[in-house]
Structure 1
């Protein structure tokens, strides 16, 4: 009886999170085009400013109360992490096929196992170590296919995406904790405010106002990211992070589709093999044990 009652309880957050990933994947495709056209920094910076404008309107209409100190702490931490995470990811996808870049990001749940052990004091058992080894083998398959290809941009792009994945692993831990103490609109507003503020520090040196033809795509990317961020925040407030983790893997389907249709990229066999190994490792890791609720007080 308990399992039947739990099934619909997880189904709604799972479905909402799946929609959030679909919208986020669409935003990735739009941002790849913008990164190629105006550079990763300008694509992220101007999208963040538009996102801040949109989220500010929603935040003002919601008439929010002042965030708690604990919530503000998570907003700042996630904003700091998110700024570097976004720049490294979009710089990387401008140099890699979209599906390949997304497949590399799937190592984040594996890395989060060790971060959870360090931050939340969760034990890492032998099966989790085996899962990490399988996932790492998948990374080697994908990156190894890049060795010997003409030019070094591909390897630098892969390295940049892997750095972003490591940051996203930490983001996974913070995301769940943040969602327990703040609402979706508040999370979105402070995410844009902090990341936009950090990126603005470099604006006098590297920011260039995009041509008029790029603004519709920048607005589209901002809208997609805002809605996706709020959908994911809503979902993570209603279900444990490890139960929503499989949703991340649907991004590969969207990345392969957009990569082929929009950018003419074919999904290579090594990408599929590497992605399969990484996903296998993640699934094996997720089945090791039932994860407890995050201990919010233990965040550094």
Structure 2
């Protein structure tokens, strides 16, 4: 199939995917606090496998080729480490700080895209990314004034480690989206990550109370929808172009952190958010530097 769409459309769809993913983060933070990182992720992935299997089965899929399955497996391995580190850390730091720390991922991804995918890094991309990253630094300076304790320190380190994994994940998402449809990507990510986490089940798995079922299902639906949208977008625009959409997640993390967990927003947070939005707008305007992916993929 030929995948054609304007770069700006792909940017908007990727931004929507990040918004939904950030909303899932808020649901998952509550589950992590109640169940622990492993059980929250294990049961969410199990629910996500069921939810994503429905549209995938309806598409009458064929078994993926060996090269495609290899990408599915590699991304699942990276995602498993990335997700556990992030949500373990998220249970120990405010949502806005967690997302701000994770913003080193798009920075690393821009250069990985140049190395792995041979994508061109333009001056506009660098300026937009530097502008958004300056916003992150402002936020981190504000957060450094708060007394969050030793748990928050270890949580921050876990999120930074997760961000390194996520940088690679962004590149894998682009590679995966060029050879597999969005429903296939969503299903195999949930199913393979669930299988990986299942290896620790004899030691860590517990059955949650039925009261947690609605939140687990909601998290699974949000994660599946986000995976679908991001896969669609990354099949139609370069990773270096879409990477700055990750910064919009901070705005949603700030909103949900305030509404759900009562986390206050400081002046530094507002100032940093303004820089982040400015960087994303600048990235979205560089239509001439973001050619549309025109790829024939055998699904």
Say whether the 8 Å CA contact 2:47–2:220 is kept in structure 1: yes
**For 1:265, what is the secondary structure of its paired residue?**
coil
Give 1:9's match in structure 2, choosing from 6, 10, 22: 6
1:128–1:220 Cα change, 3 Å: closer
Deviation at 1:110, TM superposition (A): 0.8
The Cα shift of 1:173 comes to 0.8
- What is the rounded CA distance, in whole Å, between the counterparts of 1:200 and 1:15 in structure 2? 35
Q: Which position in structure 1 is the counterpart of 2:225?
A: 227
RMSD: 3.1
Structure 1, 82-91 or 240-249: larger mean CA deviation: 240-249
Partner of 1:193: 191
- Alignment deviations for residues 258-288 of structure 1 (CA, whole Å, 9 cap, x no partner): 111111001223444556677788899998x
Secondary structure of 2:179's partner?
A: coil
Distance in structure 1 (CA, Å) of the matches to 2:247 and 2:52:
27
Tell me if 1:77 matches 2:79.
no
2:154 aligned with 1:156 = yes
Q: Which runs of 5+ in 1 are unaligned?
A: 1-5
Matches within 5 A, 1:204-219: 204-219=202-217
TM-score by length of structure 2 reads 0.83
- 1:26 corresponds in structure 2 to 23
Compute the displacement of 1:87 (Å).
0.7
TM-score relative to the length of structure 1: 0.82
Of 57, 65, 68, which residue of structure 1 is paired with 2:65?
68
Aligned runs of 1:255-270 on 2, under 5 Å?
255-270=253-268
Deviation at 1:169, TM superposition (A): 0.7
Q: Are the structure 2 counterparts of residues 134 and 163 from structure 1 closer, same or farther at C-alpha, using a change threshold of 3 Å?
A: farther
What residue in structure 1 maps to residue 236 of structure 2?
Answer: 238
Q: Counterparts of 1:287-298 in structure 2 under 5 Å?
A: 290=289
In structure 2, the residue corresponding to 1:102 is in which secondary structure? helix
2:172 pairs with 1:174: yes
CA-CA distance at 1:119 after TM superposition: 2.8
**How big is the shift at 1:242?**
2.5
